[in-house]
Structure 1
Amino acid sequence: MIKQTAIASLMAAVFLSGCTTMDPYTQEQKTSRATSGAGIGAVAGAILGAAVSDGNRGEGALAGAAIGGAVGGGIGYYQDQQEMRLRQELEGTGVRVERVGDDIRLIMPGNITFATDSASVDPAFYPVLDSVALVLKKFDRTVIDVEGYTDSTGSFEYNQQLSERRALAVSNYLASAGVSGVRLNARGYGERNPIADNGSASGRALNRRVEVRIRGTQQ
């Protein structure tokens, strides 16, 4: 019973410590990804610890919860801090910052990133990419996928090649700004995975984009 109480106390501490963060856009409190990650990690660790413990299952669960909570919370906290910094740097630039689990996505519209039908980064966009590179260098325990997309206008083959060239252009720029090339992966998806209706001009404009996906690691 004492061990069960200790486990419950640990779980409560995990969820209550740092359970909210401030959204830099809305200035509203929201649940921290670190808190969610720590909670999930603690639950998984407790189950695993109890399962593999040969002696006292309560002690195994307690130890597993502590380790799992630390790992889960660490990744979440790291990405929380990086997300906050990216939102601050990119506010008002036209680049959208999204969070999906422990991943951060930067959605860069084609109209501010490239000239029409070009794979050369618009010089006016250099300062934005410089700001992204600054944060990526500070938070260097991540893997970065640079993904290019187009609308459905033109042939599938041409769109595929254009998306690949644009993804590579952004990846190369980030590397030239000091981001380690080992962390960068560039890939084009052409007209696949649209996020809007290609039947309208506004929808096609949204589909022409480069996304930078920043994936957290446990290293």
Structure 2
Amino acid sequence: MKKTVLAVVAVAFAVAGCTTDPYTGQQKVSNTAGGAVLGGLAGAALGTLAGGNDRRNALIGAGIGALAGGAVGSVMDRNEAELRAQLQGTGVSVTRVGNQIVLNMPSDITFNVDQDAVKADFYPVLNSVALVLKKYKSTLVDVYGHTDSTGSEQHNFDLSQRRAISVANYLGSQGVDSRRFAVTGFGETRPIASNDTKEGRAKNRRVEIQLSPLT
């Protein structure tokens, strides 16, 4: 829980440090900003730790309406339909679990090996995600980083967290309200396939975005 809350605060600061790539015209997090984020996380001195309702309270207080009753399922249905349309053929899977939506982004299309900077080729995919997130503002956005079991546990945890932060920061740079985000690195602790095979390890290296209704 502590790591999650620290990351939420860091995302808000890092968005301000975005620059525009002169070749692609896309916004990205500057190296300076990225370093500030990681330094803030390591320092663990970002203020009072918050409870699980803080994002909800901040968003509702800012005038973003909470969903209730039948509106929850209806809005999440529209979210899902638009995400499926936007992400078709990109390699990103869209899974519906009740009223939550999970986007699974394999690391081979998102990052270079052992790196935490989002690939420039993946910017258009995240831009498509950002369009939907900005259209449907009444969702909370959890970004989870995962790795395979290659390397040390500490390295894997750090890498998974940096990658999740990079994705959240990029979405924030595209205008998604940073108060909606929470970021968690799980390292190698939540595999979805066997780490004993090359194929399994590839599946385990991923970033997931989970959308939950603001209720």
TM over 0.5: yes
Deviations 1:164-205 (A, max 9, x none): 000000000000000000001111000011000000000000
Tell me how far apart the structure 2 counterparts of residues 128 and 71 of structure 1 sit (CA, whole Å).
Answer: 30
**TM-fit CA distance, 1:116:** 0.4
Tell me how far apart the structure 2 counterparts of residues 113 and 202 of structure 1 sit (CA, whole Å).
Answer: 17
Deviations 1:57-114 (A, max 9, x none): xxxxxxxxxxxxx943210000000100000000000000000011000000000000
**Match for residue 99 of structure 2 among 97, 102, 127:** 102
**Match for residue 172 of structure 2 among 167, 175, 186:** 175
Tell me how far apart the structure 2 counterparts of residues 118 and 139 of structure 1 sit (CA, whole Å).
Answer: 31
Q: Which residue of 1 aligns with 2:214?
A: 217
Question: Secondary structure of 2:69's match?
Answer: helix
1:157-168 equivalences under 5 Å are: 157-168=154-165
Tell me how far apart the structure 2 counterparts of residues 123 and 186 of structure 1 sit (CA, whole Å).
Answer: 21
**Match for residue 87 of structure 1 among 73, 84, 106:** 84
Q: Letter of the 2:154 partner, please give it.
A: E
Any gaps of 5 or more consecutive residues in structure 1? 1-69
1:59-138 equivalences under 5 Å are: 71-138=68-135
Q: Which has the higher relative contact order, 1 or 2, with Cα contacts under 8 A spaced 6 or more apart?
A: 2
Tell me how far apart the structure 2 counterparts of residues 98 and 147 of structure 1 sit (CA, whole Å).
Answer: 15
Give the greater-gyration-radius structure (CA): 1
1:151-162 equivalences under 5 Å are: 151-162=148-159
Residue 141 of structure 2 is aligned to residue 144 of structure 1: yes
Tell me how far apart the structure 1 counterparts of residues 172 and 204 of structure 2 sit (CA, whole Å).
Answer: 25
Deviations 1:146-181 (A, max 9, x none): 000000000000000000000000000000000000
Tell me how far apart the structure 1 counterparts of residues 121 and 157 of structure 2 sit (CA, whole Å).
Answer: 25
Cα RMSD of the aligned pairs, angstroms, is 1.0
Q: Which residue of 2 aligns with 1:201?
A: 198
Q: Letter of the 1:119 partner, please give it.
A: D
Tell me how far apart the structure 1 counterparts of residues 204 and 100 of structure 2 sit (CA, whole Å).
Answer: 21
Question: Secondary structure of 1:151's match?
Answer: coil
**Match for residue 189 of structure 2 among 186, 189, 192:** 192
Q: How many residues align?
A: 149
Tell me how far apart the structure 2 counterparts of residues 77 and 127 of structure 1 sit (CA, whole Å).
Answer: 27
Tell me how far apart the structure 1 counterparts of residues 159 and 120 of structure 2 sit (CA, whole Å).
Answer: 18
Tell me how far apart the structure 2 counterparts of residues 197 and 93 of structure 1 sit (CA, whole Å).
Answer: 24
Q: Letter of the 1:91 partner, please give it.
A: Q
**Runs of 4+ deviating beyond 4 Å:** none
Aligned identity (percent) is 52
Question: Secondary structure of 1:130's match?
Answer: helix
Deviations 1:22-51 (A, max 9, x none): xxxxxxxxxxxxxxxxxxxxxxxxxxxxxx
Tell me how far apart the structure 2 counterparts of residues 140 and 114 of structure 1 sit (CA, whole Å).
Answer: 27
Tell me how far apart the structure 2 counterparts of residues 80 and 111 of structure 1 sit (CA, whole Å).
Answer: 29
